[in-house]
Structure 1
Amino acid sequence: MSELKSLEREFAYTTAHFNTARTTLYRFSGIKLADSKDAMVYSRLVRRIRTLKLSGFSAYFDYLLAQESEHQEFINALTTNQTAFFREPHHFEILRKYLLEHPDTKRIWCAASSTGEEPYSIAMVVAEHFGNFNTPIEIIASDIDSGVLHKAEQGIYPLERIEAISEIRKKRFFHRGKGAQFGNARVVPELRQMIQFTRINLLDSFWPLKTPIDVIFCRNVMIYFDKETQEVILKHMMNSLSEDGLYIAGHSENFNMFPQIITAVGQTTYRAAKGSSSAKT
């Protein structure tokens, strides 16, 4: 990052500032930012600097150090949330099959719920399986970003976000907005009530979850962690799975380097490796 580029910006921004931001994010969340993310860090944090009326990045990091309440704002600013309803649709067919083969399924965890499209997709599949909204399955949706969790809880989306959903599902699971909400759709209250939203940092040694968990959706999350952090989180997740539990990963993730922890059983789907200390039902 050249000094010239730094001077062209509203606030002075150096390689040292970028490194402080990414080491702090790693310490708070385990997320490792690539060297190429320097411009993203500037554009995201400069909004906080303006909001707080601070003089620049050095002042912001001093504030961050002094104010624990800013930690969550910092994490929210630098985490990326990309999602869609029924993204990677084969995973939802796998879930449907799992529910048929495991009638005693009790618990499903969406470990990176973002703005809610993924957990609501899960809830739709569960509701369709049982033929109603009153099901025996607990669905937990978590994220490290409190801001996106708030949006998820609201369950309000622009109509274009639900375009790819079938007309049958649109009619059953969404209400079209009117008046001030024209152009939006909202998930029906019954679907919303199927999900418990809670903030969870995957780095924490304790997760406020009941175990065992039968299905864990943790898609395109591990790519943001280094190998050491991946190993810690995967061990924790496998210990939280039921004996025949399923872990569903993203298309860009591969865990061949952890054969003692996790075993592939299908397309980006896994189970705890034999002999690992997975939770028992």
Structure 2
Amino acid sequence: MNHAIAKTLPAREAAGPEAAESSWVDTHDRLRPRDFQRLGEFIHGYSGIKVPPSKSTMIEGRLRKRVRALGMHSLADYCDYLFDQDGLAAEEIHLIDVVTTNKTEFFREPEHFRILADDVLPRIASERRIGPRAPVKIWSAASSTGAEAYTIAMVLAEQRRHIPELAGVVYATDICTDVLGTARGGIFPAEMMTPVPPEIRSRYVMRAKDRTSSLVRIVPELRAMVQFGRLNLMDTSYPMDRDLDIVFCRNVLIYFDKPTQLAVLRRLCDHLRPGGWLFLGHSETLSGFDLPVRAATTAVFRRS
């Protein structure tokens, strides 16, 4: 442990994680109004996520995980550590991890994956040279535990059965480090595979040798197609190629205010090659934004 950090923490944290986990946390403890305001300003500035007062109970519940992990006794202790004892630099990633929402599922909004398979990928194959040295590049820009990224990889692998030259790579990023760890392992509860068509499931999902296990794993060849990394969409620039064929950024913009949405969308468009495709969530819109894309179908856009 960094000794400078240890000096600012209670004795339980300095003693080790076992002592920290044994600390008692009052589940009726509440954030002070000033602390909620400071947390909201930091979370919005760092991640773009809005934290209205209606979310206070949810935020309190999630922050208690960090109170417990650090061996503290109250949300007030935790906020004092963040804002008055210079703990924010050491804690910011953990804070963002616990407050971000990571809802995801395989083949979520399935029409998008039908469009990807039947229209977008065949068009890319016909419009430009593709192959192992010129793969189709797809970015899942808020990948959570990897369900979207692995779904994209399944669609790519399936289409390659019909278009052999269709090599592809999926870049998958998220702001939350915890979910990226899960995503890299490719291990999921078996019930998460319910939306996956049986024939696809049989090719790309492995059951455990222990038949009583409730876990399954994505096959190695599919895991090899996906590259996971941490990325904050609020950063002013992204370390991504600028000739991407497809960007998925679905059900993320709804957490941002309008100026943040526009800034993020402009940066995403900058990474699309001319003719590249942008997929948004069905509840998201580009209405009122001046962007270099045009609508192709519901929540799917193409760069001019």
Measure how far apart 1:37 and its partner are. 0.6
Residues 128-162 of structure 1 deviation map (CA, whole Å, 9 limit, x = unaligned): 11129995322100000111111111111111111
1:140 aligns to what? Answer: 171
Measure how far apart 1:13 and its partner are. 2.3
Q: 5 Å matches for 1:90-169?
A: 90-96=111-117, 97-103=119-125, 104=130, 106-131=136-161, 136-169=167-200
**Is residue 2:77 matched to residue 1:59?**
yes
Distance 1:12 1:29 in 2: 23
Does the CA contact (< 8 Å) of 2:59 and 2:99 recur in 1? yes
- 2:297 corresponds, among 254, 266, 269, to 266
Distance 1:205 1:107 in 2: 22
1:17 aligns to what? Answer: 35
1:238 aligns to what? Answer: 269
Q: 5 Å matches for 1:32-71?
A: 32-65=50-83, 66-67=86-87, 68-71=89-92
Distance 2:212 2:140 in 1: 28
TM-score by length of 2: 0.82
**Is residue 2:106 matched to residue 1:85?**
yes
1:5 aligns to what? Answer: none
**Percent identical residues:** 37
Amino acid corresponding to residue 32 of structure 2 in structure 1? T
Distance 1:9 1:163 in 2: 35
Distance 1:244 1:149 in 2: 30
Query: Where does the alignment leave 5 or more consecutive residues of structure 1 unmatched?
Result: 1-7, 275-281
Query: 4+ residue runs of structure 1 moved beyond 6 angstroms?
Result: none
Distance 1:101 1:82 in 2: 31
Residues 196-233 of structure 1 deviation map (CA, whole Å, 9 limit, x = unaligned): 00100011122121221110000000011111111111
Measure how far apart 1:171 and its partner are. 1.2
Query: Where does the alignment leave 5 or more consecutive residues of structure 2 unmatched?
Result: 1-25
Amino acid corresponding to residue 63 of structure 1 in structure 2? Y
Instruction: Please give the secondary structure, in 1, of the residue aligned with 2:79.
Output: helix
Measure how far apart 1:180 and its partner are. 9.3
Instruction: Please give the secondary structure, in 2, of the residue aligned with 1:102.
Output: helix
Distance 1:134 1:44 in 2: 46
Distance 2:211 2:42 in 1: 40
**Is residue 2:250 matched to residue 1:219?**
yes
**Is residue 2:223 matched to residue 1:192?**
yes
Greater Cα offset, 191-200 or 157-166: 157-166
Greater Cα offset, 242-251 or 180-189: 180-189
Instruction: Please give the secondary structure, in 1, of the residue aligned with 2:264.
Output: helix
**CA RMSD of superposed structures (Å):** 2.0
* Alignment CA distance shift 1:180-1:23 (3 Å): farther
Measure how far apart 1:178 and its partner are. 3.0
Residues 80-120 of structure 1 deviation map (CA, whole Å, 9 limit, x = unaligned): 01111101111111111111011136210000111111000
Instruction: Please give the secondary structure, in 2, of the residue aligned with 1:120.
Output: helix
Instruction: Please give the secondary structure, in 1, of the residue aligned with 2:290.
Output: coil
Greater Cα offset, 153-162 or 175-184: 175-184
Distance 1:201 1:226 in 2: 16
Instruction: Please give the secondary structure, in 2, of the residue aligned with 1:243.
Output: strand
Does the CA contact (< 8 Å) of 2:172 and 2:228 recur in 1? yes
1:3 aligns to what? Answer: none
Greater Cα offset, 245-254 or 162-171: 162-171
Q: Which has the larger radius of gyration?
A: 2
Residues 180-200 of structure 1 deviation map (CA, whole Å, 9 limit, x = unaligned): 981111000110000000100
TM-score by length of 1: 0.88
